[in-house]
Chains A and B, each alone.
Chain A
Amino acid sequence: MTTKQDRLPDDPAAWVDLYGDSLFRFALARVNDPAAAEDLVQETLLAALKNRSRYEGRAAVKTWLMAILKHKIVDHYRKNTRERPIESMDTDSDAFNARFNARGSWRQPPAKWAASPQKTVESKAFMDAFYQCLAGLPERLARVFRLREIDGIKGKQLCEEMQITPTNSWVMLHRARMRLRECLETNWFEAN
């Protein structure tokens, strides 16, 4: 699919015919429930309709819709996950610091990930674990990661969306990535 010539069809009904099945398949793979997957597709397209003026043609239409769907999926997971106690930034940095010794060298270096990333994404169970881990991050960290890595938003725009300073955005992204990495290491790569 080319990025440049992609155009959002004017008639939203056409979105259902053009992209409905792809969205449905992706949603179904994540939630394992056809009715819930249909709801997610509907929510996605309604959100797209509401925000259609924000589609800038930078990404392919399908990628844009997929990004919206991924946010909906994470929200869906969050709803179905017991609310975690709010962790303070202190416990957060404790977990991070525990991987290093006093001089800042690795005490517990990153474990080797068994399969290649290409192979990994083909595993349904892995992608489930990925979305579970993402949904389990503290809300603000999950959000900054989603905006950055799913929507590809960065710099000033990211700071405006999150209402944070650039320095803050780098700190939060670093935390989000380290926690997500750790969650996958524990729940996927070591468990399998």
Chain B
Amino acid sequence: MLHPMTNCRDMSTWVSRSMDLRLSWGQRLAVRMHLMMCRHCRRLYEQLLSLRGFAQHEEADPSDDPARLSEDARGRIKSALFDHCDPSTT
């Protein structure tokens, strides 16, 4: 059974694991209690969650000009797609 007093090094693996699967009730409780007691691990957890946010972020930077694909590029890409289109799959 995972103990809240498990050291931070090992707890970091559980913190990461909790982001990938549903831990058992006991494990969740142990991780949560450890995070309540340990501000370093709490910060680690927040930062690992932020990494996920960064990876999922999909807007281009708002400060940028609203750049658009040129007509040229648009045509080129369309014809490339057309060339690779397998009619049997559509």
Report the separation of the CA atoms of residues A52 and B15 in the bound assembly, to the nearest whole angstrom. Answer: 35
- Chain A interface residue bracket vs B: 35 or more
Main secondary structure of the interface of B (DSSP, over half): helix
Asked if A46 and B53 make an inter-chain contact with CB atoms under 8 angstroms apart, the answer reads no
Q: Which residues of B contact A181 (CB under 8 A)?
A: 44, 47-48, 51
- Whether a CB of chain A sits under 8 angstroms from the CB of B1 is no
Contacts A16-B74, A49-B81 given; indicate if A121 touches B43 (C-beta within 8 A).
no
Which of chain A's residues 9-48 have a Cβ closer than 8 Å to chain B?
10, 12-13, 15-17, 20-22, 24-26, 28-29, 34, 38, 41-42, 45-46
Asked if B44 and A122 make an inter-chain contact with CB atoms under 8 angstroms apart, the answer reads no
Report the separation of the CA atoms of residues A52 and B77 in the bound assembly, to the nearest whole angstrom. Answer: 17
Q: How many A-B residue pairs have CB under 8 A?
A: 156
Q: Which residues of B contact A122 (CB under 8 A)?
A: 61-63
Asked if B58 and A66 make an inter-chain contact with CB atoms under 8 angstroms apart, the answer reads yes
Contacts A26-B58, A106-B40 given; indicate if A38 touches B89 (C-beta within 8 A).
no
- By Cβ-Cβ distance, the 10 closest A-B pairs, closest first, are A104-B7, A25-B60, A109-B40, A149-B55, A104-B9, A174-B16, A12-B81, A117-B50, A100-B9, A38-B73
From B12, B60, B67, B82, give the contact of A174 (CB < 8 A): B12
Main secondary structure of the interface of A (DSSP, over half): helix
From B16, B20, B69, give the contact of A24 (CB < 8 A): B69
- Least CB distance, A55 to chain B, in whole angstroms: 12
25 contacts across the A-B interface (CB closer than 8 A): A13-B78, A15-B81, A16-B78, A16-B81, A26-B59, A29-B64, A34-B70, A41-B69, A42-B76, A46-B81, A46-B84, A50-B84, A62-B58, A104-B10, A109-B43, A113-B50, A121-B54, A127-B54, A149-B55, A170-B13, A170-B16, A170-B17, A173-B16, A180-B51, A181-B51
Q: Which residues of A contact B48 (CB under 8 A)?
A: 177, 181
- Whether a CB of chain B sits under 8 angstroms from the CB of A72 is no
